[in-house]
Amino acid sequence: MMTKRTFAKSLAAGAAAALVSGHGLAAALKPAKARNVVLAHGLFADGSCWTEVIARLQAAGLNPTAVQNPLTTLPEAVASVTRVLDRQDGPTVLVGHSFSGMLVTEAGVHPSVSSLVYVAARAPDADEDYGALAAKYPTPPASAGIVFDGDEGRLTEEAFLRDFGGDLPPVKARVLYAVQEPFHKALLAGKVTAAAWRSKPSFYAVSTEDRTINPDLERFMAKRMGAKTIELKSSHLSMISHPDRIAELILEAAGHR
């Protein structure tokens, strides 16, 4: 027969399970030790944006690989990440910046993925309209700097330097502007069908000076997933302006701290 004490314990256990189920497992699970790291870039960038972080991960003995996101459609972008994950030989940390948080959320269900890292990134729930979620917060300034050539979008140089990489030396920011990859309008129409952060340890780096994604939206998404969260006084490009801190967060997600 169930006593009051055993009933209370059962109720507490059920509440804890519901909390974990509803908000991800970052606070409940210790990440598996991983040697592999897959890094995905977002809009207005290419794989070279991870160069500074890659060098630090390699120095720590990890095996990082940057994905060249085609920025065409969400399924094609997810497929580009999945192909790289298929080549990994063991537990892998999946990292995404900006838009590629969509790819981390969807492709992160891959069996090789042991933990997730979001760097100033989108982190939608399954079937969630990210645009509708973002509309609940003030529009970030960078949005006004997007221009289109037909179906291809990019940031103007002024917006790139001021609103995308505002804490970078102008000379460095101009180099990054020169290599930005245009994105297709169709890319923004996709919704993720799965939310890997509901079942895998998650980590989030908020950029407090972000002018591309609202910092309060970043905080909301990080809290909702129960992510281990750090805040950096940074522009949207924290992996370039704060590579040591981003590399440290990835190392923690890989079980090396």
Per-residue model confidence as pLDDT tens digits over 28-78 = 678 899 999 999 999 999 999 999 999 999 999 999 999 999 999 999 999
Cα–Cα distance, 257 to 250 (Å, whole number): 10
- pLDDT at position 27: 52
Q: What is the pLDDT of residues 159-192, one digit of tens each?
A: 999 999 999 999 999 999 999 999 999 999 999 9
Where residue 257 falls among pLDDT bands split at 50, 70, 90?
confident
Q: Which residue has the tokens 């399954």?
A: 126
Q: Does pLDDT of 140 surpass 80?
A: yes
pTM equals: 0.90
- The predicted model gives 80-103 an average pLDDT of 98
CA angle, 153 then 158 then 160, to 5°:
55
Q: What are the tokens at 252?
A: 């923690």
Q: In the chain, at which residue ranges do the beta strands (DSSP E only) sit? A: 36-40, 63-67, 92-97, 113-119, 146-149, 152-155, 183-184, 202-207, 228-232
Where residue 3 falls among pLDDT bands split at 50, 70, 90?
very low
CB 236 within 8 Å of CB 99? no
- The predicted model gives 130-137 an average pLDDT of 97
Q: Where do the domains of the chain lie, and which CATH numbers do they carry? A: 31-253 (3.40.50.1820)
156 class by beta-carbon count within 10 Å (0-12 exposed, 13-18 middle, 19+ buried): middle
Mean pLDDT of the chain: 91
Kindly state the helix (H) or strand (E) to which residue 102 belongs, with its residue range.
Answer: helix 101-107
- The predicted model gives 100-126 an average pLDDT of 98
- pLDDT at position 211: 98
* Distance in Å from the first CA to the final CA of the chain: 45
Q: Does pLDDT of 23 surpass 70?
A: no
